[in-house]
Structure 1
Amino acid sequence: MIRHSDLSPATIRHKIRRREVVLAGNMKLKIYGNLGCSSGKRMRKENRVFFHSEAEALQHYYRPCGHCLKEKYKAWKLDHKR
């Protein structure tokens, strides 16, 4: 997990192009999603983190985004019913 605020814009672009980061997450809400998600683009820089893989996001107890990862979110929701 890499914090957005720890990276320069050029470093972020480099990591995205090299596929070193493929997902972004909201540190406060514990939600991860695709880099192009409209919901994720609205989050504050200090709350954004980047992940190399979905497994890494799940390892940090983040849940899938309900907008860009609808099917994964539905499956997660079924698995986490109380």
Structure 2
Amino acid sequence: MFARLADNGIRLVDETQLTDDQKVYLRQFFYDKLNGLVNPIGLNEIDNLGRLEDNRIYLLVERKEAGDDGMTRYAIVKTSPS
């Protein structure tokens, strides 16, 4: 799947691959355009999955927690308008 994305000029990156300027830009973009519009639903909270809507696009987010347990957590973010 990732090879097909790369063939079309799309690459997946994480925060460790961003330049300082890109981090600043994305942080500002989030606060200017997205803050308050996106509401992550933690997948560890299974009872919240009933809130997903039909005919919407969702983004899956993976986050490795800092600390001793180092658990990986997942969340879903609705990306298409209501």
Q: What's the TM-score bracket when you normalise by the shorter of the two chains?
A: under 0.3
Larger radius of gyration: 2
Q: Which has the higher contact order (CA 8 A, sep 6+)?
A: 1
TM-score, normalised to structure 2's length? 0.27
More helix by share: 1
TM-score, normalised to structure 1's length? 0.27
